[in-house]
């Protein structure tokens, strides 16, 4: 997309990192970022809260915490701390943070078996691992080429499909699970999302998921599937509470989450690289990547004490930046302020909890499909060679296969089942990394020919 005509210096500042544009120029661009990320940010919290069996007030708190975490993570990346020192937190690049879907399958398992406290405790270890990745990024980056990162993302997308289908049916454990009402609402939502994704223009296309949720919500409301009691009882203002959910340090949970943080740190590098190459015509510097991953780790360590679920860069917002070329930090900071305000208003979070599971399922199944397709495109960016196909196929087969048949590990200790049998992305990551190091690269294959390599 070409830049809009620049009439004055303030308008010009929209396309520069610094400067303060007119408020009414920045506001629609900021709202565009909020619309693109807010559903994806709160949905993991809704899924985890359901798996953990949280009370309604705690569900609201977890959603609030997700929005506040997104705002804080975004602010830190826009305006780094300690920039003049050798050890700084934040990249200083125009990105939006949010609660990542990459952790959802593992968090859902941990929430149902150990509770939210185990997730938050493991998050401290995961954040620490991310910091180690940031400190050593120059030395370990070669372990995570597009082939490995794409295989991991593909596995994440596949592992999310059962969640979406169960939600479309009404949510496991619901007395109306599988009813025709749920399926009508879910399929209607999916149709609306698909229509606007493919035929919508401008903001309607960018916000197709939100449009689908609104349409599905209206239909569910007409069918008597929405209750507003939770909104009526919610307050108007509340800040996050320290250690409200507690902290537990379960070794299998810590291992599983920590590995995901390492993988997600490398995936975030791809998002930062896409931002700078697509909107700034350059690659991120080593210093920027160093600060980006340190900021990611520090945000998640601190967030664990306030009930913030794991956060990372949001790819859909990267797409907006690269499309509009608006890299002004003040504009993205305005988006973060809007997200923060939404997070400290319980009534807004309470309203989000009234969305029926069928609506969420119909909207998110397309998101999960997009995640999987993004992963396979990235994994095959340097060619569909026999070696690459073998690595992708074996990693995904073992990861998804073991998660579909966890009873195959019942003779092993419980921690083995938790790490390898219920979190497909963990075993897929280990196998993809190992095979990429072990299997020889043949001379002349696309992976060895720089001119044939794809980019992300």
> pLDDT (tens digit, 9 = 90+) per residue, 315-336?
767 767 876 778 899 989 999 9
Per-residue buried b or exposed e for 240-252, using 16+ beta carbons within 10 Å of the residue's own CB: beeebbebbebeb
Distance CA 446, CA 212 (A): 40
Predicted local confidence at residue 450, as pLDDT: 38
Predicted pLDDT at 329: 92
- What is the length of the chain? 456
The DSSP secondary structure of 38-60, one letter per residue, reads HHHHHHHHHHHHHHHT--HHHHH
Assigned domain for 3 exists: no
Task: Find out whether 47 and 293 touch, Cβ atoms under 8 Å.
Answer: no
Q: Which residues pair with 258 in a beta bridge?
A: none
Q: What's residue 365's pLDDT?
A: 84
- Is 243 among the domain residues? yes
Phi and psi angles of residue 98, each rounded to the nearest 5 degrees, phi first: -165, 170
**Number of domains within the chain:** 1
CA-to-CA distance for 123 and 254, rounded, in angstroms? 7
Predicted pLDDT of residue 445 = 47
Residue 340 lies in a domain: yes
> 274-326, pLDDT tens digit by residue?
778 777 877 788 888 889 999 999 999 999 999 999 998 887 677 678 767 78
CA 396/CA 376 separation, integer angstroms = 11
Q: Where are the alpha helices (DSSP H) in 18-141?
A: 23-52, 56-78, 104-113, 116-135, 137-140
Residues 6 or more apart whose Cβ sits within 8 Å of residue 112: 51, 52, 53
Answer whether residue 452 is part of any domain.
Answer: no
pLDDT for the residue 180? 92
What pLDDT, on a 0 to 100 scale, did the predictor assign at position 21? 84
**How far is residue 427 from each of residues 86, 101, 288, measured CA to CA in Å?**
35, 18, 30
Residue 449: its pLDDT value, please? 42
Is 209 inside a domain boundary?
Answer: yes
Going by the DSSP 8-state scheme, the letter that residue 211 receives in this structure is H
- Do the domain assignments include residue 447? no
- With beta carbons less than 8 A apart as the criterion, state whether 51 and 58 touch: no
Rounded CA separation 201/79 (Å): 32
Element (DSSP H or E) covering residue 98: strand 97-99
DSSP secondary structure code for residue 175 in this structure: T
Give pLDDT, residue 209. 76
pLDDT tens for each residue of the chain, 456 residues long: 444 444 455 555 777 888 888 888 888 878 778 866 777 788 899 889 989 999 888 988 898 899 999 999 999 999 999 877 667 899 999 999 999 877 888 898 889 888 999 999 999 999 999 999 999 887 877 777 888 878 877 887 788 788 788 889 988 777 888 899 999 999 999 999 899 888 887 667 766 777 888 899 999 999 988 877 767 776 787 787 888 999 999 888 898 899 889 878 877 876 787 778 777 877 788 888 889 999 999 999 999 999 999 998 887 677 678 767 788 999 899 999 989 998 898 787 777 778 888 988 888 788 778 778 877 887 888 788 999 999 999 999 998 898 888 788 878 877 777 677 767 877 888 899 899 999 987 654 444 443 333 333
The answer to whether residue 206 is domain-embedded is: yes
Q: For residue 446, is it within any domain?
A: no
User: pLDDT at position 322, please?
Assistant: 74
> Which residue range forms the structural domain that includes residue 144?
9-441
């Amino acid at each position: 997309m070409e830049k809009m005509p620049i009439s004055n210096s303030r308008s010009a500042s929209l396309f520069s990192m610094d400067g303060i544009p007119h408020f009414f120029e920045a506001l629609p661009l900021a709202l565009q970022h909020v619309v693109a990320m807010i559903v994806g940010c709160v949905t993991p919290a809704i899924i985890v809260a359901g798996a953990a069996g949280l009370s309604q007030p705690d569900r609201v708190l977890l959603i609030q915490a997700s929005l506040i975490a997104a705002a804080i993570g975004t602010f830190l990346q826009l305006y780094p701390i300690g920039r003049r020192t050798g050890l700084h937190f934040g990249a200083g690049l125009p990105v939006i943070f949010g609660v990542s879907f990459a952790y959802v399958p593992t968090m859902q398992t941990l929430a149902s078996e150990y509770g939210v406290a185990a997730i938050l405790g493991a998050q401290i270890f995961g954040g620490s691992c991310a910091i180690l990745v940031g400190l050593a990024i120059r030395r370990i980056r070669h372990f995570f080429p597009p082939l490995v990162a794409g295989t991991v993302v593909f596995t994440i997308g596949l592992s999310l499909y059962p969640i979406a289908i169960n939600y479309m049916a009404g949510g496991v454990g619901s007395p109306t699970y599988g009813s025709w009402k749920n399926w009508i609402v879910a399929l209607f939502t999916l149709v609306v999302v698909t229509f606007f994704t493919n035929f919508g223009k401008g903001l309607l296309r960018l916000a197709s998921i939100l449009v689908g949720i609104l349409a599905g919500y209206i239909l569910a409301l007409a069918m008597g599937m929405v209750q507003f009691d939770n909104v009526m009882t919610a307050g108007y203002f509340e800040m996050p509470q320290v250690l409200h959910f507690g902290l537990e340090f379960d070794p299998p949970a810590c291992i599983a989450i920590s590995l995901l943080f390492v993988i997600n740190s490398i995936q975030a590098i791809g998002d930062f690289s896409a931002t700078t190459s697509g909107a700034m015509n350059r690659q991120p510097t080593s210093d920027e990547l160093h600060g980006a991953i340190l900021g990611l780790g520090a945000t998640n360590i601190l967030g664990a004490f306030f009930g913030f679920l794991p956060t990372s860069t949001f790819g859909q917002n990267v797409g907006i930046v690269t499309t509009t070329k608006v890299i002004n930090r003040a504009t993205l900071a305005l988006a973060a302020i809007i997200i923060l305000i939404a997070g400290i208003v319980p009534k807004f979070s309470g309203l989000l909890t009234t969305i029926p599971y069928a609506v969420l399922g119909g909207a998110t199944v397309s998101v999960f499909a997009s995640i999987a397709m993004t992963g396979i495109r990235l994994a095959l960016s340097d060619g569909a060679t026999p070696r690459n196909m073998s690595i992708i196929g074996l990693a995904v087969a073992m990861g998804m296969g073991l998660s579909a048949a966890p009873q195959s590990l019942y003779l092993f200790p419980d921690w083995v089942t938790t790490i390898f049998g219920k979190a497909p992305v963990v075993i897929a990551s280990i196998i993809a990394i190992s095979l990429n190091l072990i299997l020889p690269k043949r001379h002349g294959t696309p992976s060895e020919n720089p001119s044939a390599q794809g980019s992300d």
